[in-house]
Amino acid sequence: MITCRSQFFDSEKLIPEETSWISTGREKNLINYNKVYISPFSDNDIEKYLSQKYKGQRKKRKQAYLIVERCKNLMVRPLLLSYIDDLIEDNVKYTELSDIYETLIDKWLQREVNSIYDKVERNKQKKNLYRFSVDIAKTIYSNWKGVKSMQLTPEQMGTFMKSYGYNDLPFDIKRRSLINRNASGSFKFAHKSFLEYFLAKELFVNPSFELEFDGMDMAKTVYQGLCANEFRNQKNNGVFEIIYDKRFEKNIKLCINKTNNVNYIHTYVALAALNIEPVIVSFHWGAFSTDLYQFLDNIKVVNVEIKGYKNTSGVSPKSLLSISTLNFIKFESPETISLPKSYINEARKFAVTTIFNDEIVTTGTQYVHLPILSNVDYQLYRRIHQLVNDDTRNSRKLIDYIFNEIENK
């Protein structure tokens, strides 16, 4: 059997179907051969492969199966399955697909620089090689957008090597390299998913990088995984808090407790990836910013709770009212102040319910969109408001209504 990668040919028509040898039979024809395309592995194939690879190594085989389950759509590719050793070495639990690629690429970079004796120089070259690979990925992506080519020409590679001070290729393409060279001398990633990882990681650390996810599904998945991991870490460090109401499953509250180094674009992507749909968002007024406003608009926030409100020059809560989905804002303020008149007029215009230190300021009509507990609060405040301003004939009736309604809800 002779194996060949089809990407060595510009098109299927250019793949030859006959050899230059003449048969020894009577007709003396050129010898033909059949093209057979190897399909991705089936579940059975993967099981056989892992059983043979880790024969007598039950623990490793179990770890390998868990990784395969996490990214079965990738491990059906024999090329990627061959990297399974790199993934089980450190006994790490992979939460996202991005974690798997992080490990694969880190192991590859480490292999390429292991021959450098000095530790400082080794780490420096590892970082250098990573940036070199990112630049290759970005150029290949640019080529793909322009001429639909997933390759880097020898001339382009030469330019990169010169700019990074390399006289020779900084990686060994004969070993398990993530970047290979084809028959015409052009360079490409051993698998498109490696290219997409570098692109997704670049977008994650550099928001100005323009990456379109059309035709780059794996890049989108990796990017979502990176954002989800960042959100989990921030949640563990008290930046965010998610409160689930035990009585009302969908009454999810997102509390923003700290704002240092928060990228709200990442937060928005993470919430979508983790299927978290907050009904209420709570934050301190000092944290309000253009980025936070954009985040609230992106998640289509319905209810907002603002703590520590105070009159701030140049910053008005009025801007929140331009979020079309907003129905309810609750302010808490330690100071004896009031909301700006411009905000109150605008809130009345858009029928947004506003409560300031447990007092109703404006009322809305779309109660059905309020979370259940906020709805109860609102009805209570509204009844008290009516009691204070209504005549005494209705007082008894309203008091009975309040207690009956709260008891029922």
pLDDT digits (tens, 9 = 90+) for 340-378: 899 999 998 888 888 888 888 888 765 445 556 666 666
What's the whole-number mean pLDDT along residues 163-178? 74
Of 80 and 126, the structure prediction assigns the larger pLDDT to 126
Is residue 298 predicted with pLDDT exceeding 60? yes
DSSP states of 156-172: HHHHHHHHTT-SS-SS-
- Rounded to 10 deg, the angle between the 217-236 and 192-205 helix axes is 40
AA identity, residue 165: G
pLDDT bucket at 185, cuts 50 / 70 / 90? confident
CA distance 210 to 322: 28
What domains can you pick out in the chain, each with its CATH number? Answer: 95-225 (no CATH), 237-368 (3.80.10)
pLDDT computed for residue 368 by the predictor: 44
Give φ, ψ of 247 to 5 degrees.
-85, -35
Q: Tell me the three state secondary structure of residue 81.
A: helix
Residues β-bridged to residue 25: none
Contact by Cβ (8 Å): 152, 186: yes
What's the whole-number mean pLDDT along residues 48-64? 89
Give φ, ψ of 283 to 5 degrees.
-155, 160
Range among 186-195, 206-215, 230-239 with highest mean pLDDT value: 230-239
Q: Nearest Cα to 353, choosing from 280, 293, 298?
A: 280
pLDDT computed for residue 359 by the predictor: 83
CA distance 351 to 345: 10
Q: Nearest Cα to 302, choosing from 329, 267, 265, 322?
A: 329
Binning the chain into helix, strand and coil, the percentages to the nearest 5 are 50, 10, 35
Is residue 171 predicted with pLDDT exceeding 90? no
